[in-house]
């Protein structure tokens, strides 16, 4: 049997969450799909690694859009519908906020959350609940409108909260609730998950973030994020998808403005009616389209015009004692010396010291995360790509260790335990690590930043105009929804839907 067939319906470049979601959805509709993954494993960032015989989560803090078994949100429902059977564990709290003058643990549930903010900042219950309810209304509208687009006139009547707040920044809407600064601070910690300061973050995006995470809680797979990608790959293969690992796609073949296949670095030329790329548009339009003359100028303008979102710097440790013995009380801690998101965002353009950290102790959400008598602890910051782009090879090691030392010192001070005395294993992930393992442009983990000019709704409106090459779709954190593992799944589904819709239109036209 030949390694590749003569022709596929769709080739998917990249076998991580987004690419595998596309593959699952297409296979479910009977399409013949080939996934080409450059690594020897599926998952991209949704992966784990082994040190000292212990499997360690590479990235995931928490998944959004999963929901309880009998009340699934869109990502959880997609996994269920596709037969991707994951053991989900609900994360016990929303977060512990460690901010100037505040040490507060907050739990999911809109009312619970508002009560807990009120306990820390008395007199704020009604206003905080009203703000969270507003977020929830916007969230419901976004979910409905993403499935059933409607006229502006109808939207005004059916989705008033969404329409009313759509042109406002997060800061503008929060200010309108006239909350004391401390309460505002307690409502801000998740900002880093969408990677824009509140003066430039559309309230719509903040609403989705808060309503999803606070309203429904977050989840982790028992066997780490790799459980998702491994089971997705397994299920896709069972549904007839061909997945080939260690196959780096060098070129996307285009003729007369239409993609018709790919060439791998091994030299295989493989043909298909459609190509879906997990590789960033920046990479595709500047280096992958063959011949390069097929790249429209507008495509280059588009990638130059978009602002890349955040990358990651993470210190991941296995410690030699239990969380309890080490005084680690919370699954998730957000710690900063300010909660001024604009100032923090500015700061993330540098190389540290970083003033905003997010820390996870997996054992407090997953009792089988590490062997008995140990625990895993990760300290993460999400810098912008700007600073890291300037690091010279000869300075990399020094800067990496400086940043890691600062983060370990900060959290050792917070916990009152010198973490260095307890490290069994330590791995430092940098933007370069992300780039090396996933090929992500500049090590970016969230695609393009959500700003007032460029966000999901604006992108939905310009999507058709930005479809520069026919039969080529993008599936990854860099596609419409941006940000994180849940949205990567949604983006993968959207790319598959675009392919299916185009197929239907072209088939109808050919009849």
Instruction: Using CB under 6 A, list all residues that contact ligand FAD.
Output: 13-19, 36-39, 44-46, 59-63, 248-249, 278-279, 312, 314, 380, 429, 434, 438-440, 445-446, 476-477, 484-486, 488
Residue 98 or 378 having the CB closest to ligand FAD: 378
Question: Minimum CB separation from ligand FAD for residue 509, in Å?
Answer: 32
Question: Minimum CB separation from ligand FAD for residue 375, in Å?
Answer: 18
Distance of CA 267 to the CA centre of its chain: 32
Question: Minimum CB separation from ligand FAD for residue 61, in Å?
Answer: 3
Antiparallel, parallel or unpaired: β 33-36 and 8-13: parallel
Q: Work out the angle at residue 448's Cα, subtended by the Cα atoms of residues 446 and 453, and round it to the nearest 5 degrees.
A: 140
| Sequence-ordered list of residues with C-beta below 8 angstroms from that of 279, at least 6 positions apart, any chain | 13, 14, 249, 288, 439, 476
Residue 124 or 229 having the CB closest to ligand FAD: 229
Enter the DSSP assignment of 223. Answer: T
Q: What is the distance between the alpha carbons of residues 453 and 458, in angstroms, rounded to a whole number?
A: 7
Among 230, 219, 233, 192, residue whose Cα is nearest residue 48: 230
Residue 182 or 294 having the CB closest to ligand FAD: 294
Q: What is the distance between the alpha carbons of residues 164 and 150, in angstroms, rounded to a whole number?
A: 16
Which residues face 34 on adjacent strands?
11, 242
Q: What is the distance between the alpha carbons of residues 304 and 306, in angstroms, rounded to a whole number?
A: 6
Question: Minimum CB separation from ligand FAD for residue 280, in Å?
Answer: 8
Residue 26 or 440 having the CB closest to ligand FAD: 440
Q: What is the distance between the alpha carbons of residues 385 and 444, in angstroms, rounded to a whole number?
A: 7
Residue 58 or 104 having the CB closest to ligand FAD: 58
| Sequence-ordered list of residues with C-beta below 8 angstroms from that of 187, at least 6 positions apart, any chain | 117, 128, 131, 174, 179, 210
Residue 351 host element (H or E): none
Residue 438 or 442 having the CB closest to ligand FAD: 438
Residue 184 or 196 having the CB closest to ligand FAD: 196
Q: What is the distance between the alpha carbons of residues 180 and 376, in angstroms, rounded to a whole number?
A: 36
Residue 15 or 197 having the CB closest to ligand FAD: 15
Question: Minimum CB separation from ligand FAD for residue 482, in Å?
Answer: 8
Q: Are the C-beta atoms of residues 316 and 427 closer than 8 Å to each other?
A: yes
Q: Which residue's Cβ lies closest to ligand FAD?
A: 44
Question: Minimum CB separation from ligand FAD for residue 428, in Å?
Answer: 11
Among 122, 131, 223, 227, residue whose Cα is nearest residue 176: 131
Question: Minimum CB separation from ligand FAD for residue 224, in Å?
Answer: 11
Question: Minimum CB separation from ligand FAD for residue 31, in Å?
Answer: 19
Residue 62 or 473 having the CB closest to ligand FAD: 62
Residue 338 is encoded by which pair of tokens?
A: 């300010």
Q: What is the distance between the alpha carbons of residues 280 and 303, in angstroms, rounded to a whole number?
A: 9
Question: Minimum CB separation from ligand FAD for residue 85, in Å?
Answer: 20
């Amino acid at each position: 049997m030949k390694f590749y067939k003569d022709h596929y319906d769709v080739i998917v470049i990249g076998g991580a969450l987004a690419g595998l979601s596309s593959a699952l959805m297409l296979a479910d509709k009977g399409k013949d799909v080939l996934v080409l993954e450059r690594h020897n494993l599926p998952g991209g960032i949704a992966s784990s690694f082994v040190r000292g015989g212990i499997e360690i989560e590479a990235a995931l803090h928490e998944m959004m859009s999963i929901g309880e078994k009998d009340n699934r949100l869109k990502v959880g429902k997609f996994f269920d519908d596709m037969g991707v059977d994951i053991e989900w564990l609900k994360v016990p709290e929303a977060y512990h906020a460690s901010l100037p003058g505040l040490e507060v643990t907050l739990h999911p549930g809109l009312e619970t959350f508002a009560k807990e903010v009120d306990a820390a900042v008395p007199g704020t219950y009604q206003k905080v609940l009203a703000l969270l309810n507003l977020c929830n209304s916007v969230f419901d509208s976004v979910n409905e409108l993403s499935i059933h687009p409607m006229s502006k006139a109808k939207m005004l009547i059916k989705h008033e909260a969404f329409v009313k707040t759509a042109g406002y920044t997060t800061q503008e809407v929060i200010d309108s609730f006239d909350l004391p600064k401390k309460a505002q601070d307690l409502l801000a910690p998740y900002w880093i998950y969408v990677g824009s300061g509140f003066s430039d973050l559309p309230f719509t995006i903040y609403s989705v973030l808060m309503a999803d995470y606070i309203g429904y809680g977050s989840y982790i797979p028992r066997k780490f994020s790799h459980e998702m990608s491994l089971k997705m790959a397994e299920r896709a293969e069972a549904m007839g998808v061909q997945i080939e690992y260690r196959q780096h796609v060098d070129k996307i073949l285009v003729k007369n403005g239409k993609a018709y296949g790919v060439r791998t670095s091994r030299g295989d030329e493989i043909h298909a009616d459609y190509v879906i790329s997990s590789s960033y548009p920046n990479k595709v339009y500047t280096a992958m389209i063959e011949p390069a003359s097929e790249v429209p100028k507008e495509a280059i303008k588009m990638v130059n015009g978009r602002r890349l979102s955040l990358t990651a710097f993470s210190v991941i440790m296995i410690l030699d004692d239990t969380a309890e013995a080490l005084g680690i009380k919370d699954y998730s801690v957000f710690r900063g010396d300010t909660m001024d998101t604009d100032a923090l965002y500015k700061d993330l353009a540098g190389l540290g010291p970083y003033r905003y950290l997010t820390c996870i102790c997996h054992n407090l959400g997953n009792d089988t995360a590490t062997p008995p008598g140990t625990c895993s602890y990760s300290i993460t910051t999400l810098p912008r790509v700007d600073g890291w782009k300037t690091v010279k090879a000869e300075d990399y090691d020094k800067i990496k260790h400086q940043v890691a030392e600062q983060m370990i010192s900060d959290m050792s001070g917070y916990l009152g335990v010198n973490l260095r005395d307890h490290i069994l294993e330590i791995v430092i992930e940098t933007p370069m690590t992300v780039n090396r393992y996933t090929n992500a442009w500049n090590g970016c983990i969230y695609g393009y930043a959500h700003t007032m000019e460029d966000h999901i709704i604006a992108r939905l409106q310009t999507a058709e105009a930005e479809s520069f090459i026919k039969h080529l779709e993008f599936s990854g954190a860099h596609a419409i929804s941006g940000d994180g593992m849940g949205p990567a799944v949604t983006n993968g589904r959207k790319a598959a839907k675009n392919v299916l819709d185009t197929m239907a239109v072209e088939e109808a036209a050919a009849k």
